[in-house]
Amino acid sequence: MGRLAYLFAGQGAQVVGMASDVKDLPKVKNLFERAESVCAGVVEKMLCGPQEDLNRTLWTQPAMFLADLAYAYAREEETGAPQAVCGFSVGEVPALCFAGSLSEEDALKAIVRRAQLMEEYTGRVQGCMIAVVGLEPGAVEALCDGKNTHPANYNSRKQTVVACAMSEREEFSARVKQAGGRAIPLKVSGMFHCPELAPEAEKFAEFLSALNFQKPRMDVYANLTALPYAEDFVGTLSEQMCSPVRFAATVENMRAAGIEEFIEVGPGKVLTNLVQRG
């Protein structure tokens, strides 16, 4: 096995029953018990649903945190520690926890606060996320107006996710079709990783400033910079909320650093499929 990286899945990958196949591992059982003391009911929502509830940001984010971290713990028993990790959006918090930058308790508190802020935001700003497939990133940027539509996730050469105001959903999808691409709505409850989230990102930074961040045991690549975290954990993690996820550039930089194999920790294979597409 070559140099290895774990990819921590993000919001949109959630499915009822995720992590049920690893829930009996001792380390995972301890994690789930700790989670219940911070976010009561989240384990039941993750394992039993219903899917409607699990799709709400308030539940999605802590549930994805638990599922990602549980799968990472299980994988590490098989492969040993990876040389690098990267989390997609909400997946960046379990990635930091896995790498030792945050304790499980602090990371759980952070993900619950992040979910609360973003749930409040979805009540303030009505929006959605639309995956644009078949167009280069520059072409997608040209379709966005920087007000109601913003490039939010740079996933691959032919897939960019756009944060879109609900009122503009049909018109933007029509523009995508006219340009020769496909517009696919994602199962998330708002428009994220865009400037509208700046007030919530500031509040999240205030919350994070009270937590104890440590140097990670392996490189943790940040969505904000597509580079390993340096020293500004609070600023990098909070600004991520209102900034695009630079996943394609992150994969390129990981490969340039010698990473040869990518394993997705979380439900599904969305991220490893993006890596394969390039």
Strand 149-156 versus strand 159-165 pairing type: antiparallel
Does residue 150 have an active-site annotation? no
Q: How far apart are CA 70 and CA 21, in angstroms?
A: 10
| Active-site residue, from 101, 150, 156, 193 | 193
Based on the residue annotation, tell me whether 173 is a catalytic residue of this protein.
no
The answer to whether the beta carbons of residues 43 and 29 sit under 8 Å apart is no
User: Which amino acids are annotated catalytic?
Assistant: 89, 193
